[in-house]
């Protein structure tokens, strides 16, 4: 980017995934001086392809980011920097001071698009298969499991519903219990059995077969549970440290609460993407980022872009 760094940016966007880059694009279109700080750890980078994006289905996560970066080049007001924001606070006058890799950056507005981190299973061969035939998002990748046998790993009360969702595509679903020391109770077994989901007791130990040609999951003790793809649900965690520092209201799952214009409970702070409630899908993140970017830009000229009645309290 060619913009000389201003003493105070109009907006600081934290996170360079689909939500953050969409926000930055629209801030650029409103000619707002914008700094995007991206640590480069988007949760879907391991996936072979991203799906469901109008006009480019499929694409790879890296292609999507590369094209978005190229698009930002037409907006000299926008600067993109690889790095991390480790601390932020708001002055009494409303100005934000952020620490970016040890240096102070000042901005009139902030857009938080820091996303989620998924809890990954401890499974031999996991990283080689992740994104090819091992996934965490049924909505994102379930279509590619159509007419195949799917193995589900995970724990918690939500797991039966998670496994049942995969029946929209898979010809058979098998759920392995005890992957982290927890088991499925009798009530859950009855629900799963009624849906035709096979429950296999044991601890998943390793993936068997090369990436793209998965044969199944080997249990501790040697048994092979056959399957073509694996989906897992061990939990995910909002990256909400900066929102917490700023005093943004969080929901019961730790995600940042926003109004219809992606404005948080803190004046001047917007949030978009997986860090907020709702579907965790790239097209949704792009839409939320667009809303945040436009609302943020218009607020700089005195239009709040929100109503008091809709604000999270």
The pLDDT tens digits for 201-217 are: 899 999 999 999 999 99
pTM: 0.92
Alpha helices in the chain (DSSP H): 18-29, 61-72, 126-129, 138-141, 159-165, 186-194, 241-246, 282-299
Per-residue pLDDT tens over the stretch 210-263: 999 999 999 999 999 999 999 999 888 999 999 999 999 999 999 999 999 999
| Domains present along the chain, CATH in parentheses | 9-117+236-310 (3.50.50.60), 120-233 (3.50.50.60)
Confidence at residue 18, expressed as pLDDT on a 0 to 100 scale: 97
Strand order, beta sheet including 198-200: 134-135, 229-233, 149-154, 172-176, 198-200
Q: Which residues of the chain have pLDDT under 50?
A: 1-2, 180-181, 305-309
Does residue 36 sit in helix, strand or coil? Answer: strand
Confidence at residue 149, expressed as pLDDT on a 0 to 100 scale: 98
């Amino acid at each position: 980017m060619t913009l000389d760094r201003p003493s105070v940016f109009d907006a600081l966007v934290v996170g360079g995934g689909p939500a953050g880059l969409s926000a930055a694009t629209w801030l650029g279109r409103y000619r707002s001086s914008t700094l995007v700080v991206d640590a480069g750890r988007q949760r879907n980078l391991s996936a072979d392809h991203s799906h469901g994006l109008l006009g480019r289905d499929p694409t790879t996560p890296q292609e999507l980011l590369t094209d978005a970066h190229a698009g930002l080049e037409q907006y000299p007001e926008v600067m993109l920097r690889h790095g991390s924001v480790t601390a932020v606070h708001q002055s009494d006058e409303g100005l934000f001071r952020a620490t970016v890799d040890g240096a102070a950056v000042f901005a009139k507005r902030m857009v938080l698009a820091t996303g989620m981190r998924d809890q990954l299973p401890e499974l031999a061969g996991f990283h080689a298969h992740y994104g090819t035939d091992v996934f965490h998002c049924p909505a994102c990748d379930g279509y590619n499991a159509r007419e195949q046998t799917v193995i589900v790993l995970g724990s918690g009360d939500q797991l039966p519903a998670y496994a049942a969702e995969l029946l929209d595509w898979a010809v058979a679903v098998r759920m392995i219990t005890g992957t982290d020391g927890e088991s499925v109770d009798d009530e859950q077994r009855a629900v799963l059995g009624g849906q035709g989901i096979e429950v296999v007791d044991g601890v998943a130990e390793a993936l068997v077969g090369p990436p793209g040609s998965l044969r199944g999951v080997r249990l501790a003790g040697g048994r092979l549970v056959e399957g073509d793809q694996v989906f897992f649900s061990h939990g995910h965690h909002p990256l909400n440290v900066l929102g917490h520092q700023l005093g943004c209201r969080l929901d019961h799952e730790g995600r940042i609460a926003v109004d219809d214009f992606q404005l948080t409970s803190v004046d001047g702070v917007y949030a978009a993407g997986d860090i907020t409630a709702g579907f965790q899908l790239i097209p949704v993140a792009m839409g939320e980022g667009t809303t945040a970017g436009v609302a943020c830009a218009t607020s700089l000229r005195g239009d709040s872009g929100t109503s008091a009645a809709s604000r999270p309290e």
